[in-house]
Structure 1
Amino acid sequence: MRTWTPPVTPKLPGHGEAPRLFNTAKGRLEHPAIQDGRATLYVCGLTPYDATHIGHAFTYTTFDTMQRAWRDAGIETVYAQNITDVDDPLLERANATGVDWRALADEQIGLYRSDMHRLGMLPPEHFVAVTEAIEEIAYGVKQLVERGFAYSVATPDSAAGDDIYFDVRGAQKDSQWRLGDVAPYDRSLLETLSAERGGDPEREGKRDVLDPLLWRAARAGEPSWESPVGEGRPGWHIECTVIARQALGDLFTVQGGGHDLVFPHHEFTAAHATAITGKPLAHAFCHAALVSYEGHKMSKSRGNLVFVSKLLDGSHAGHCVDPAAIRLALLANHYRSEWEWFDSDLERAERRLAAWREGLGRTGGELVSATTVLQQLRAALANDLDTPVMLATLDAALDAGVDDPGLIADAIQSLLGVQLVRPEGCQA
């Protein structure tokens, strides 16, 4: 699947440091293992039935910043991202609106590409839709069946064949994976989160309420594919397991996503990978905090969403918002801190952007060393992507004026992805 045109990333003098990152699975800051000067990153993509809200943008800005830190440290990056273009929420939205599910997915994927391009996100080298990898995913399910880590559960319609589930207890007994390797939560919380996030604890025939679906047998009125494990479509977690391993290989550097993916999604993608290969999925699991709006977590189910496209085309804020201001509003929050979006955040970001543009033209007086500012920016970036400190550093420097405005403009664009050149009008 095609991605989008990459942004310009100026080359800066020297190199920064590889960032220390918070590994959710270990509960500590660490330097994820870099192999042969290459960092490999997999970030879970969206389900394309409503794209792209500020919560999504915050997540993807986090991992965009992570790549920028690695690249500035002289480390090559390989980035993979999936799109879950067949899933229950997408099918439900398509049915409710009378739109073909493929057309809905294509429309929203196109909007997502546009949003990512205009926000200056680095595109993934591997951008894979689930529907492009059905055969490979089904083979992954087959491997789990053959290794004894999966079992069948009869469906209400016996003609449809059986659903296939992952055996959590069996995998804990006979593989290297243990429940809680990624999500260090107690059992009661795991059960609650599973029920809230796509699990089916009431399903009869399951060996454990946490056992996740690997393959859903064909149902009338639903898309399905012929496969070595019967006609049907894949479950959620195995999709990312297979797509990530195909793109990046075994034991890649970072598995990333929003914090709501810690469990069950990332726990079980890791479980499936370990059960198939005998190796862990990733060296580190990193997660962006959730964003609230109007007092609640921003979510499609609640409908309290602020869409990037509506900010850019002027239909949310009443004027076309500069993409750089949106990035600054996001970067003002540390990626691991939960926060709430207010329209005033955008107003502050627009004032900051205007002040930076003015500050780059400031001359006279005792100017700040641009080289020193660059060192400070790199130090903050290496410290778990501390973008609020980076923004405060730039506020102070540009308020006084810097001796090399070109270097600072390049640093802002390269490290933060913020383009200081004003866009020309709305780009709806």
Structure 2
Amino acid sequence: MEEEFKKRNRLLLYLEGFFIMLGGGMVQIGTTLTYILTYLIPKQPVVVGLMHSISALFIILPKFFTSRLILSKEKDSPIMARIELIKGLLWIILGIVIYKVDNKNIAAILMLFILAIIFMTIGANTTIRTDIIGKVVSNKSRGRFLGNKEFISRMGGIIAVVIGGFILGAFPKPLNFAVLFWFVGFIQMFSYFVLINIREKGIIREKKQQSMKKFMSSAMKILSKDKNLIYLIVQDNFKILGITITGMYVIYLKDKINIDVTDMMIFSGCIMLGIGIFSPIVGKISDKKGCKYVLKISYILYIIGYISMFFVVSKWLVYLNYFIIGVANTSDIVTKDNIAIMLGKENNRSLYESMRSAFILPMSVIAPILIGLLITLFGFEVVLVFEIVFMSLAIFTLNNKVNLEEDSEFECNNNVTVY
């Protein structure tokens, strides 16, 4: 990539993150979307769990197809830009559904259906974004770049929750939900104009797109040789079981203390603030001490957050809970792309990102429904104990079995052409 485009591309990726969160910060699945779904179908933790399962399933589903596609394409950003346009349009359609469909059960079903497609666009663009970052940012400064990008993104998210709170308070239900979705849609579509201006180095890793059978064979070949990746996936599965309850916290709070729709934006803002403040710090630490170090700190923070949930007596403690969740979430956000790029290198980074996502898919789908069912049967506090155990297992596996400083790449794709 020419030197003159490096700063430009970094700036555009910062802006892309800002606009994605300026829209997405208003519709966080663990707060706003959960609240809207419980407005349509009250007191149904299993239905909320279903939404989280749909999120996990449909974010991961397109990853292998997207990874396979971009291996045969010279440029990633035009594909990503078109997908953002589609995602924005879907949010606008969802707003129309919420406003116009009077039957709440039907509205809830349509909401879940449209969200499933939106989650697919998110999953596809997550894979593409990882590949773009691998092209644009050097190894030595990638952690710092990802931390700074996340900081800028979450500042957009904090602005989003202020705007979102105003929208939700200014209009009656369900018009306020509809206006919120419409605003999100227009903001997300604006990302198109940012993405089409990114200048990538042209890379074609496969001159002809592989058949899906051959592509999957390559993936399994990597997995059979790379034990480090296997242990990484094992600890990922423990982590998913351990963090699922954070998306159910709102259900518990509705019964425990008096919260309303505007509180959802404050909760989202606390998460954004935690991520935003600590992202640059985590990025710098990961460059110096490695991804594994910051992930262990993250998992310990989740456990601290869960312990504090036992003592909820006021909204101020809830704000602290969500802030801690945000800080804990920072390490995973900042390191996820870096781990895929580091382990997969130029040839296989999108494939590594897709494999890591694919092999946590069953747990990602099952865990929200399972945790929702357990909460229904035993109560939130009992399930919190289970979650602490799962996070402890994730820490043990990460600490004793995973080596993220090891060069664990197994080449399966030698047909790389750089322009």
Give yes or no for TM over 0.5.
no
Larger Rg belongs to: 1
* TM-score (normalised: structure 2): 0.26
User: When you count strand as a share of all residues, which structure comes out higher?
Assistant: 1
* TM-score (normalised: structure 1): 0.26
User: When you count helix as a share of all residues, which structure comes out higher?
Assistant: 2
More RCO (CA 8 Å, sep 6+) = 2
